[in-house]
């Protein structure tokens, strides 16, 4: 599909005028550096998306080898520009832009191998010559890049296992198992389905011995944080939250969940079923075929037409594909001659079945896509915000409406009672909260047994029967690829509840659509990129610092009785 220039009239008209002033003029002191950065960044985006697609050329036919050659030349040009002498006359905004460019050059704009070798696709872990999953974590993690090497190997083996789970003569993937657990009625079959994930657990935590891959990784991660004088919780300062209150916030959310959950011990393979009434009742209408149409209709009703925003989707499962859903830039919006050209956000996920969880994930990833499509900033600031926590939170501003009966009635043609829907919503949130608490405690005490840490958390807050022999916590790729990242989802849930409550107070409800919603939210939350700090954007919108009150109030709406699971012999 050919890109074409068009005005983004869906945003407030004043926004275009505002952003005309964001880009330095041709004679500005930083213009040459910023133009070189924009070109290198654009080529880097195209390379990353092409590889994520498992392809050897872009959608427009440019070969990966050609992209890499052009990128190397653009990177060298940027490097040369950055090595020039002092730049007198830079204002505060330009100085900050230059700092961003320099950091990005070192962190994101990595060097590439010779373009002649770029066309060779990396071996899949599923193929001969792919990742070797019979390795010694201690040996592999030696040297200055040992943690990175170990993490990458663990992630490759995690992905291989997650795509090849054996159940009743079929091969399932991780997300399909997650989707089936809430809707599988027979207890013994649920247990077998749950235990089919054991290869994932072993890929992450081996036999749970002191030399397991995860236990080695968390020791290295904790040591690095000590050396860097930081902590998992430190990132919450970027959104104005004191790191010292984070663990208390997490446990208060978990305690509130315990208060509304059935007073009944439950097996780990039955937790999703216990909280899955909404999944079972909506299963007939949430088929795989409706995931994209519902997603697109909802966002269009909010004024965020994903087709007009040039959002691209890669949702088909395939060998070697990243097992974790994510959204990224394929191209970034550009201001040319006073007109914005559309960017090209890309959403990657793998869906074999329809389910409430898969629909929620797709709405979340599309929330990321419409966010980055709305960024209106100079090239140096045309990027994700400075806080991953804020980034994850605002992806759910629209997505979480799917748990409101009014939304379900409009977009699915069926709905479930609010209490059941809220349990489905918060089951995922409190599990993310438990994983975040787990990571905090493991980093505070990296010699601890992760199975015991997880057992203590899930028994205390979810009434889940202890199974310390099972590493059933080890099903999230973020635990390997980005240690500490689960905190962004957990505190992000607190933040987005606060933002959503304020949004409805200021702008009104939107469960059944609102054509002016996207322009209004873009102007206040989405458009800034790195132009403003996340903390400033949040506190300007809320009129105060973040609190956990909105989430606790929302969770309290589910305080009604829930039927007990039938008693069965699960062992």
Q: What is the pLDDT of residues 369-426, one digit of tens each?
A: 999 999 999 999 999 999 999 999 999 999 999 999 999 999 999 999 999 999 999 9
Q: Is residue 28 part of a domain?
A: yes
Q: Residue 219, class by beta-carbon neighbours within 10 Å (0-12 exposed, 13-18 middle, 19+ buried)? A: middle
| Side-chain-side CA neighbours of residue 32 (13 Å) | 11
Q: Is the dihedral of CA 544, 546, 552, 557 positive or negative?
A: positive
Q: Is residue 155 part of a domain?
A: no
Q: What is the pTM of this model?
A: 0.89
Cα distances (angstroms) measured from residue 525 to each of 20, 34, 539: 19, 25, 11
Looking at residues 107-128, what average pLDDT do you find? 61
| Phi, then psi, of 96 in degrees rounded to 5 | -65, -40
21, pLDDT greater than 60: no
Q: Is residue 388 part of a domain?
A: no
Compute the distance between CA of residue 217 and CA of residue 351 in angstroms, rounded to an integer.
29
**23-37, 187-201, 314-328, 492-506: range with lowest mean pLDDT:** 23-37
Compute the distance between CA of residue 370 and CA of residue 311 in angstroms, rounded to an integer.
8
Q: By C-alpha distance, which of 300, 562, 297 is closest to 423? A: 562
- Are 330 and 45 in contact, with CB atoms under 8 Å apart? yes
Q: Give the model's confidence band at 551: pLDDT under 50 very low, under 70 low, under 90 confident, else very high.
A: very high
Domain with 31 in it: 23-121
Q: By C-alpha distance, which of 350, 406, 339, 397 is closest to 369? A: 397
Residue predicted with more confidence, 25 or 223: 223
Question: 3-class secondary structure for 503-562?
Answer: HHHHHCCCCCCCCCHHHHHHHHHHCCCCCCCHHHHHHHHHCCCCCCHHHHHHHHCCCCCC
Compute the distance between CA of residue 522 and CA of residue 370 in angstroms, rounded to an integer.
9
Eight-state DSSP code of residue 61: S
- Are 314 and 344 in contact, with CB atoms under 8 Å apart? no
Looking at residues 217-234, what average pLDDT do you find? 96
- Helices 198-205 & 146-163 angle (0-180, nearest 10): 170
Q: Is residue 326 part of a domain?
A: no
What is the C-alpha R_g of the chain? 24
> DSSP letters along 306-362, please?
TTTTT-EEE----TT--SS-EEEESS--EEETTEEEP--EEEE---SS--HHHHHHH
124, pLDDT greater than 80: no
Per-residue pLDDT reduced to its tens digit, 58-77: 999 999 999 999 999 999 99
pLDDT at 559: 80
Eight-state DSSP code of residue 123: P
Edge-to-edge strand ranges of the sheet holding 312-314: 312-314, 345-348, 326-329
- Copy the structure tokens of residue 19: 């952003």
In 10 A of CB 325, how many CB atoms?
Answer: 19
Compute the distance between CA of residue 3 and CA of residue 330 in angstroms, rounded to an integer.
12
Q: Is residue 387 part of a domain?
A: no
Per the DSSP assignment, residues forming a β-bridge with 340 are 335
> DSSP letters along 222-236, please?
HHHHHHTT--GGGGG
Q: Is residue 521 part of a domain?
A: no
Compute the distance between CA of residue 95 and CA of residue 112 in angstroms, rounded to an integer.
28
Looking at residues 549-563, what average pLDDT do you find? 81
SS3 state of residue 171 = strand
pLDDT at 114: 63
Per-residue pLDDT reduced to its tens digit, 288-309: 999 999 999 999 999 999 999 9
Q: Is residue 337 part of a domain?
A: no
Encode burial over 138-147: b for 16+ CB neighbours within 10 A, e otherwise: eebbeeeebb
Per-residue pLDDT reduced to its tens digit, 526-544: 999 999 999 999 999 999 9
Compute the distance between CA of residue 191 and CA of residue 195 in angstroms, rounded to an integer.
6
pLDDT at 85: 63
Mean of the per-residue pLDDT values for the chain? Answer: 90
Looking at residues 173-178, what average pLDDT do you find? 95
Question: Measured in whole angstroms, how far is the alpha carbon of residue 490 from the centre of its chain?
Answer: 12
Compute the distance between CA of residue 531 and CA of residue 543 in angstroms, rounded to an integer.
19
202, pLDDT greater than 90: yes
Q: Is residue 75 part of a domain?
A: yes
In 10 A of CB 447, how many CB atoms?
Answer: 10
The DSSP bridge pattern shows strands 345-348 and 339-341 to be: unpaired
- Copy the structure tokens of residue 308: 């007009």
Per the DSSP assignment, residues forming a β-bridge with 345 are 329
Cα distances (angstroms) measured from residue 507 to each of 8, 88, 352, 436, 500: 22, 45, 37, 32, 10
Compute the distance between CA of residue 22 and CA of residue 378 in angstroms, rounded to an integer.
5
**59-73, 83-97, 179-193, 312-326: range with lowest mean pLDDT:** 83-97
Compute the distance between CA of residue 246 and CA of residue 249 in angstroms, rounded to an integer.
5
Q: How many domains does the chain have?
A: 1
């Amino acid at each position: 599909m050919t890109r074409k220039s068009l005005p983004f009239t869906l945003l407030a008209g004043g926004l275009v005028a505002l952003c005309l002033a964001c880009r330095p003029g041709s004679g500005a002191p930083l213009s040459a550096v910023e133009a070189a950065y924009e070109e290198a960044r654009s080529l880097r985006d195209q390379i990353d998306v092409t590889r994520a697609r498992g392809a050897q050329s872009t959608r427009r036919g440019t070969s990966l080898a050609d992209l890499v050659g052009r990128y190397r030349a653009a990177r060298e040009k940027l490097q040369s520009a950055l090595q020039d002498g002092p730049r007198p006359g830079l204002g505060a905004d330009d100085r900050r832009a230059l700092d961003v460019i320099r950091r990005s050059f070192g962190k994101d704009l990595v060097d590439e191998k010779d373009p002649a070798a770029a066309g060779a696709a990396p071996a899949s872990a599923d193929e001969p010559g792919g990742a070797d999953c019979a390795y010694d974590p201690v040996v592999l993690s030696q040297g200055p890049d040992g943690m990175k090497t170990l993490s990458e190997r663990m992630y490759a083996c995690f992905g291989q296992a997650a795509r090849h789970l054996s159940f009743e003569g079929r091969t399932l993937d991780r997300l399909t198992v997650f989707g089936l657990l809430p809707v599988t009625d027979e207890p013994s079959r649920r247990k077998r389905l749950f235990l089919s994930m054991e290869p994932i657990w072993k890929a992450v935590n081996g036999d749970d011995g002191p030399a397991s891959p995860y236990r080695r990784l968390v020791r290295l991660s904790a040591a690095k944080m000590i050396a860097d004088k930081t902590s998992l919780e430190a990132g919450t300062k970027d959104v104005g939250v004191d790191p010292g209150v984070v663990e208390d916030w997490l446990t208060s959310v978990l305690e509130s969940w315990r208060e509304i959950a059935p007073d009944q011990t439950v097996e780990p393979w039955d937790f999703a079923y216990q909280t899955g009434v909404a999944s079972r009742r909506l299963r007939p209408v949430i088929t795989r075929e409706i995931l994209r149409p519902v997603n697109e209709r909802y966002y269009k009703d909010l004024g965020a037409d994903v087709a007009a925003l040039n959002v691209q989707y890669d949702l088909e499962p395939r060998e070697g594909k990243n097992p974790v859903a994510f959204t990224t830039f394929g191209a970034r919006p550009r201001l040319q001659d006073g007109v914005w050209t559309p960017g090209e956000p890309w959403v990657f996920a793998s869906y074999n079945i329809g389910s409430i969880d898969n629909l929620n994930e797709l709405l979340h990833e599309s929330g990321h896509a419409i966010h980055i499509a709305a960024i209106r900033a100079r090239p140096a600031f045309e990027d994700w915000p400075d806080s991953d926590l804020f980034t994850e939170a605002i992806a759910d501003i629209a997505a979480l409406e799917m748990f409101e009966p009014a939304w379900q009635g409009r977009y699915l043609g069926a709905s479930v009672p609010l209490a059941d829907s809220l349990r489905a919503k918060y089951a995922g949130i409190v599990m993310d909260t438990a994983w975040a608490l787990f990571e905090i405690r493991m980093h505070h005490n990296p010699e601890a047994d992760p199975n015991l840490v997880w057992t203590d958390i899930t028994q205390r807050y979810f009434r889940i029967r202890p199974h310390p022999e099972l590493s059933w916590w080890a099903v999230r790729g973020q635990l390997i690829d980005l240690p500490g990242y689960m905190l962004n989802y957990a505190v992000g849930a607190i933040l987005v509840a606060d933002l959503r409550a304020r949004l409805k107070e200021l702008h009104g409800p939107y469960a059944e659509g609102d054509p002016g919603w996207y322009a209004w939210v873009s102007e206040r939350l989405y458009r800034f990129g790195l132009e403003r700090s996340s903390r400033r954007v949040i506190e300007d919108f809320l009129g105060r610092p973040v609190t956990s009150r909105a989430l606790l109030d929302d969770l309290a709406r589910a305080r009604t009785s829930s039927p007990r699971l039938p008693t069965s012999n699960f062992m």
